[in-house]
Amino acid sequence: MIPEDENMQPDLLELSDEDGNTMLVQVRDYFFYNGQEYAILVDAPREANTAEVPEELGCYVVKVNTFTENGEEMEEFVPIEDAALEERLIEIASTRLEGDEEEV
């Protein structure tokens, strides 16, 4: 799980869909499933300087591809195309997010 430190800024990303619409999301957690890394992204809080999670949030699970570019390790977030796999990953993400809420 991503540690929550008061001084740590959340990882905010601006993503675009196939239609060119953009959304601001926050990386909430990373996890492995069947040897592949995935990330849980949630809609970013309305206030960029807070780590609070909105009551109603959009939750997205994406595959993480890691690669090196110009000597720097980079991450690429790729949508899940297999519907059954996506459903299973969403179940895992929901359980992980619920666990985060109980720790608060």
Using a cut of 0.85, tell me whether the model's pTM lies above it.
no
pLDDT score, position 61: 94
Q: What is the pLDDT of residues 5-60, one digit of tens each?
A: 444 456 788 888 778 888 899 999 999 999 999 999 988 876 555 555 545 668 89
Give the per-residue pLDDT at 102: 59
Q: Residue 32: how many CB atoms within 10 A of its CB?
A: 9
Sheet-wide strand order for 59-69: 12-16, 22-33, 36-43, 59-69, 72-79
Q: What pLDDT does residue 4 have?
A: 44
